[in-house]
Amino acid sequence: MNAPAALYESSLSSLKLRARGKVRDIYDIDDKHMLIVTTDRLSAFDVILPDPIPGKGRVLTRVSNFWFAKLSHILPNHLADIPLEQVIADPAERAQIEGRAVVVKKMKPLPVEAIVRGYLIGSGWKDYQKTCAVCGIRLPEGLKQAQQLPEAIFTPSTKAGVHEHDENISFEKTVELMGQDLAEQVRDASLRLYTEAAAYAKERGIIIADTKFEFGLDENGVLHLIDEALTPDSSRFWPADEYQVGISPPSFDKQYVRDYLETLDWDKTAPGPSLPAEVAEFCAAKYREAEARLTQG
């Protein structure tokens, strides 16, 4: 049986396209619902690459749905209990997006990305080397690269558009943007979601070094988890059996592609370079392995 074709961009004639993000295509259904299609596009260094990662969108959808269900006791999420066939009647059109589309409730998205860091890596490690702090949060001296932090920290950022870079902001700035009560609610929910998910993942051989959440409010002002949750796209996943302090560990996410791109003579602006087929397939296999470890057994 042949694997389904990779999907770089969806094309649905029965619904109105609302937006195309770095990875997701969003369609309007009615006043209260949207269809989110997770494509196989990959963005690296905030540039959408020209080649899809086969099957990636389906993996991200299944992993997100798994976490939405598992963590629903902490916070409700945006998933609507409406089957795809009720929204897309044409079987041919439905086949294009089967397994990678979800019907969601429309929410008012909050203006920040909620980032939680449990380990000292990436921009946090660079920040720490210069200032002994991450996003303004003071940390103990003498920590090493990839070391687990004494406790997870909340380091929000602004939301950037396509081809733009997110900007780290302080908690005080978050309060300015959304008010004290909501900022505290987002921070507390983010830390709880991360802590519970990280403990579960570690039992299955995956360290979640950091992750990004997005939140929205329903018409009654109730906070919901939206977009995606704890996927290899929105998180840094490390194999626990290969983890060691002092080096940047191998990962289950798109770090492999980033590392490949770093070897090229490319200035990290659009258009991005094409990926060799073996790089795309290796990345796809890493996504599939992360899903299997988290969701099976």
Mean pLDDT of 205-210: 97
pLDDT tens profile 276-286 = 999 999 999 99
How many independent structural domains does the chain possess? 2
Q: What percent of the chain has pLDDT over 70?
A: 97
pLDDT tens profile 166-192 = 788 999 999 999 999 999 999 999 999
- pTM recorded for the entire structure: 0.94
* Same-domain pairing of 162 and 229: yes
* Same-domain pairing of 123 and 218: yes
Residue 126 lies in a domain: yes
Determine the pLDDT at residue 1. Answer: 42
* pLDDT bucket at 36, cuts 50 / 70 / 90: very high
Domain that holds residue 126: 108-253
Q: What is the 3-state secondary structure (H, E, C) of 74-115?
A: CCCECECCCCHHHHCCCHHHHHHHCCCEEEEECCEECCEEEE
Evaluate if residue 163 carries a pLDDT over 80.
no
* Same-domain pairing of 112 and 242: yes
Residue 289 lies in a domain: no
* Same-domain pairing of 160 and 243: yes
From residue 208, give the alpha-carbon distance in Å to each of 41, 135, 153, 164, 234: 22, 19, 13, 25, 10
* Same-domain pairing of 128 and 212: yes
Of the candidate ranges 42-51, 77-86, 103-112, the one whose mean pLDDT is the lowest? 42-51
Q: From the DSSP assignment, how many helices (H) and strands (E) are in the chain? A: 8, 15
Determine the pLDDT at residue 46. Answer: 85
